[in-house]
A and B are shown apart, each in its own frame.
Chain A
Amino acid sequence: MTDSATNRSSSAFRLEARGIRKSFGGVEVLHGVGLVATGGSVLALLGENGAGKSTLVKIVAGDYSPDAGEIDVAGDVRPSLDPLSARQLGIRMIFQELNDAPALTVAENISLGRWPGNHGVVSWREVRRRAQRVLEELGVDIDPDAPVGSLRIGERQVVEIARALSDEARCLILDEPTAALSAQEVERLFTFIHRLRKRGVALVYITHRLDEVRQIADRVEVLRDGEVVLEGNVAELDRRRLVSAMVGRTIEDVQRPPAPSWELGSAPVLRFTSATSEGAFQDVDLEVFPGEVVALYGKVGSGTAEVADAAFGTRSLTGGSLELDGKESRFHGPAQAIEAGVGLLPADRQREGAFMVRPVAENLSAPSWPRLARLRTFISSRQEAIAYRRWHDALTIRSRNDPGQPIGTLSGGNQQKVLLGRWLERRSRVLLLVEPTRGVDVGARQEIYRSIRSLSSEGVGILIPTSDYEEVVQVADRAAVMARGRIVARLEGDEITTEELAEAAGG
């Protein structure tokens, strides 16, 4: 304890990885890259999905061993680390997915694997004391006796950070920690990061959100295709340079789509009238016309995703009504909603969307099987392949163009295109696209937006519940903003700007 305390105060901790190379299955994904993390500063590691960020930090954290290069931890130079020695050297990583034990208490989680006590007998007093000390230090009000599973995601993340800290972390790596957090929780997390920085911890912060980089990082390193393409002080780099470094080309700033040149349908294809669902949303009035893209913007937990669930038959209304093509509808389950012409692209692609081990063609044609099949019963993979080829080019799906390729082998953006194709093949007239570009890299994101626009030009009504305001600006004709289960603002056309959206949702 005293040991590390003196370390911390005397000279700043410094971790440097140099010339790191790493291949998977014969394909090199890191071509001699490195990073420098120093105590008391925040390094933002920026890059699109697949740029190599996670691989690099996993090497630093000892999860992978590099093919070449070296890691210098406070003067201790090694060719590679293993998880145990990385931990002993004070390197801790907080993963995107929570790594806690939900059934155990906060205090137990903090001491997990490092039980205090004698001769194998755990001292529960010390477990509790340790938790209280570190939580106090972090300035958070979390009950150490509460089961972790009962906490909100943001609080659970804090518990993980507390666990790392109580283990004398000198370098803390955070892998996209804000992905699942609400705006308030993000704010609180940033406060911690500032506090940790003050305490002299070296922080590495992985993200693909540019605004976060400005808010918290001192230095930034941009990775693309396994190479460092930009490095510098955040204060000296503007947004455009960061974006173009990430994407590899200059990209226009967030831009509004042109107003639809096509006719909207005369009657709404989807309409909520003072719709209420206990515990999720109240008094929602919302219309989507054929040929129109409507965004339902709100922070995580504001009820936007639940509205989509209600339209898809996975959540029932306790008040008000839902009409499809002017007909009042009550769906018992998704099968009925799909039959009526509704399609839903879920936010969590891996858990709710894709059949990872199954071929792309099967993934795309699944909801259309009865229609594609002879006598609604007999189907061959040839029929599926034909359906797949119909959309492969239109959606610019990048694959081997082999209908039998498992969808799990495609990149996130291309998986999402296949899942979008699902509802095109099904000829759905209302599409609910929940967070359609979450975890999708910038290039593929633009292609998905283009596909959404071209779909609407064909008369499909599209509702997009999302927490990404840039997405709203780039794709929506109209936007409704939700907060705490209610629609708090409506924007149309050029009124839709990031500022307006942020303001409306925050109020």
Chain B
Amino acid sequence: MTEANEPTQLAAGEAAAAGPAVQQAADMDRRRRIPELAALVVFLLVEGVFFSLKSPYFLNWDNWLNILTAVAVTGIIAAPATLLLIAGQFDLSVGSGTAFCGVIMAYTVGSLGWSEPLGVVVVVLAGIGIGLVNGFFVNVVGVNALITTLGTLAVLRGLGKVISNGQTLILNGFGGIGTSRPFLNIPTPVLILAAIVALFWFVMRYTVYGRSMYAIGANPVAARLTGIRSKRLIFGGFVLSGLCVALSGLILVSQLGASSPIAATGLELSVVTAVILGGASLAGGRGTIIGTALGLLIIGVLNNGLILLNVDPFWQEVAQGTLLIAAVSFDQLRIRLSVA
């Protein structure tokens, strides 16, 4: 068999003899891969430099802890959201789910007087329940994930209001998970965020489950034909999302010492922004948790900077929406550039 009997467009890059061409192709590929994370890091640095020039407080350690605390709830949910999007799925019910879980905690412990551990167990069960319901409709009934979770978004928001009678419920003495600083003066939510990100990083990179989710997103039919039990795995993804929702609900109610049924409104927008900004592809099959973490930081720094600069907080939403569109446009541009 001679080397050069396969005249394809890629032949130049494939033939072992063509040394420089191979190098060139490899370089091209690497250049294409690097921008995904590098662009995020650069953007984050530019943001950082800008705000540190504008405000003397920006670079304070405490301010950074503020930024991280502010994004903790979003980040804890963005981790499973990344996993789901990589498999081609969405969970829009996370915001109202978080509020719902908070209401359950405040209602059972604060209003009914149950013990804290029992309340936590009920909240965790509620989170799993949300995941099971979403997973059931998406995988067993076969409803599109966007529609299913849009429905549960409304249902959970409504149920939260029903249980709390539309009022903000007070919950005193449950500050541990939201406000304590057990280690190096770092708030617990930030530590939990770090642990969740590390966990999902490991799962997505080093487990059969993570690999399979990438495969499902890259090509659902091929995944099935390679023996991947897609429905079960996606079901699992929704349950993970529900568990993280329960966790973030607990953190939120602990931070505020109270729970409002309209809390965490629009959280799904922040989550989607972070995930997309982080480079996960809407078409599925691509994305990393590191990217999502960087996307999260970009949002956190932007919001924090705007506050430090005394910009009206209403502008935060405008900025975030703009960022989302910018991220998706950037993704499209990148696709077009890599095709050409």
Q: In the complex, what residues of B have CB within 8 A of residue A369's CB?
A: 208, 211-212
Minimum distance in angstroms from B152 CB to a CB of chain A = 28
Do B11 and A50 touch (CB < 8 A)? yes
Do B208 and A373 touch (CB < 8 A)? yes
Q: In the complex, A27→B24 CA distance in Å? A: 10
Q: In the complex, what residues of A have CB within 8 A of residue B212's CB?
A: 369
Do A354 and B222 touch (CB < 8 A)? yes
Residues facing A in B23-50 (CB within 8 A) are: 24-26, 28-29
Do A367 and B227 touch (CB < 8 A)? yes
User: B218-232 interface mask toward A, CB cutoff 8 Å, 1 = contact, 0 = none?
Assistant: 110111111111000
Q: In the complex, A32→B26 CA distance in Å? A: 27
Do B215 and A400 touch (CB < 8 A)? no
Given A373-B208, A399-B14: A335 in contact with B29 (beta carbons within 8 A): no
Nearest chain B residue, comparing its CB with the CB of A223: B7
Do B215 and A362 touch (CB < 8 A)? yes
Q: A92: CB under 8 A from chain B?
A: no
Q: In the complex, A485→B10 CA distance in Å? A: 40
Do B5 and A247 touch (CB < 8 A)? yes
Given A356-B219, A358-B285: A410 in contact with B10 (beta carbons within 8 A): yes
Q: A344: CB under 8 A from chain B?
A: yes
Q: In the complex, what residues of A have CB within 8 A of residue B157's CB?
A: none
Most chain A beta carbons < 10 A, residue from B26, B209, B218, B223: B218
Q: B22: CB under 8 A from chain A?
A: yes
Do A224 and B1 touch (CB < 8 A)? no
Q: B60: CB under 8 A from chain A?
A: no
Q: In the complex, A381→B7 CA distance in Å? A: 31
Do A248 and B7 touch (CB < 8 A)? yes
Do B222 and A355 touch (CB < 8 A)? yes
Given A366-B226, A366-B228: A50 in contact with B7 (beta carbons within 8 A): yes
Q: In the complex, what residues of A have CB within 8 A of residue B21's CB?
A: 27
Q: In the complex, what residues of A have CB within 8 A of residue B6's CB?
A: 398, 411, 413, 441, 443-444
Minimum distance in angstroms from B124 CB to a CB of chain A = 23
Q: B9: CB under 8 A from chain A?
A: yes
Given A334-B227, A338-B226: A26 in contact with B24 (beta carbons within 8 A): yes
Do B9 and A402 touch (CB < 8 A)? no
Q: In the complex, what residues of A have CB within 8 A of residue B115's CB?
A: none
Q: In the complex, what residues of B have CB within 8 A of residue A346's CB?
A: 222, 225
Q: A351: CB under 8 A from chain B?
A: yes
Most chain A beta carbons < 10 A, residue from B8, B12, B15, B24: B8
Q: In the complex, what residues of B have CB within 8 A of residue A224's CB?
A: 7
Do B225 and A352 touch (CB < 8 A)? yes
Do B24 and A411 touch (CB < 8 A)? no
Nearest chain A residue, comparing its CB with the CB of B26: A400
Residues facing A in B280-332 (CB within 8 A) are: 281, 285-286
Do B5 and A249 touch (CB < 8 A)? yes
Q: In the complex, A478→B98 CA distance in Å? A: 63
Do A358 and B218 touch (CB < 8 A)? yes
Which of B5, B205, B209, B218 meets A248, CB within 8 Å?
Answer: B5
Q: In the complex, what residues of A have CB within 8 A of residue B286's CB?
A: 357
Which of A48, A405, A410 meets B29, CB within 8 Å?
Answer: A405
Nearest chain A residue, comparing its CB with the CB of B285: A357
Q: B207: CB under 8 A from chain A?
A: yes
Do B222 and A24 touch (CB < 8 A)? no
Residues facing B in A42-88 (CB within 8 A) are: 48-51
Q: A119: CB under 8 A from chain B?
A: no
Q: A468: CB under 8 A from chain B?
A: no
Do B208 and A50 touch (CB < 8 A)? no
Given A26-B24, A49-B8: A334 in contact with B225 (beta carbons within 8 A): yes
Which of A225, A248, A380, A400 meets B22, CB within 8 Å?
Answer: A400
Residues facing A in B186-235 (CB within 8 A) are: 205-209, 211-212, 214-215, 218-219, 221-229
Do A338 and B208 touch (CB < 8 A)? no
Do B10 and A48 touch (CB < 8 A)? no
Do A396 and B26 touch (CB < 8 A)? no
Residues facing B in A16-36 (CB within 8 A) are: 24-27, 29
Do A377 and B208 touch (CB < 8 A)? yes
Q: In the complex, what residues of A have CB within 8 A of residue B236's CB?
A: none
Q: In the complex, A334→B230 CA distance in Å? A: 11
Do B218 and A50 touch (CB < 8 A)? no
Q: In the complex, A235→B148 CA distance in Å? A: 63
Q: In the complex, what residues of B have CB within 8 A of residue A362's CB?
A: 211, 214-215
Q: In the complex, A225→B10 CA distance in Å? A: 11
Given A377-B207, A380-B206, A400-B26: A411 in contact with B225 (beta carbons within 8 A): no
Q: In the complex, A224→B5 CA distance in Å? A: 10
Q: In the complex, what residues of B have CB within 8 A of residue A354's CB?
A: 219, 222
User: A366-389 interface mask toward B, CB cutoff 8 Å, 1 = contact, 0 = none?
Assistant: 110110010011111100000000
Q: B13: CB under 8 A from chain A?
A: yes
Q: In the complex, what residues of A have CB within 8 A of residue B29's CB?
A: 405-406, 409
Q: In the complex, A335→B26 CA distance in Å? A: 35
Nearest chain A residue, comparing its CB with the CB of B3: A398
Q: A353: CB under 8 A from chain B?
A: yes
Q: In the complex, A88→B104 CA distance in Å? A: 67
Minimum distance in angstroms from B291 CB to a CB of chain A = 15
Minimum distance in angstroms from A308 CB to a CB of chain B = 11
Q: In the complex, A379→B203 CA distance in Å? A: 10
Which of A26, A248, A378, A441 meets B8, CB within 8 Å?
Answer: A441
Q: In the complex, what residues of B have CB within 8 A of residue A356's CB?
A: 218-219
Nearest chain B residue, comparing its CB with the CB of A399: B14
Q: In the complex, what residues of A have CB within 8 A of residue B206's CB?
A: 378-380
Do A367 and B226 touch (CB < 8 A)? yes
Q: In the complex, A422→B22 CA distance in Å? A: 25
Q: A339: CB under 8 A from chain B?
A: yes
User: A410-430 interface mask toward B, CB cutoff 8 Å, 1 = contact, 0 = none?
Assistant: 111110000000100000000
Do A402 and B26 touch (CB < 8 A)? yes
Q: A325: CB under 8 A from chain B?
A: no
* Closest 3 pairs between A and B when the two form their complex, measured CB to CB: A50-B8, A355-B218, A338-B227
If A376-B208, A378-B207, A400-B13 are given as contacts, then 10 extra A-B residue pairs at C-beta distance below 8 Å, sorted by A number, are A27-B9, A248-B5, A248-B7, A335-B228, A339-B227, A355-B218, A355-B222, A377-B208, A380-B205, A411-B11
7 A-B pairs (CB sep. < 8 Å): A48-B7, A335-B228, A362-B214, A400-B22, A413-B6, A414-B14, A447-B1
Using a CB–CB distance below 8 Å, which chain A residues touch chain B? 24-27, 29, 48-51, 224-225, 247-249, 312, 314, 333-335, 337-339, 344, 346, 351-358, 362, 366-367, 369-370, 373, 376-381, 396, 398-400, 402, 405-406, 409-414, 422, 441, 443-444, 447
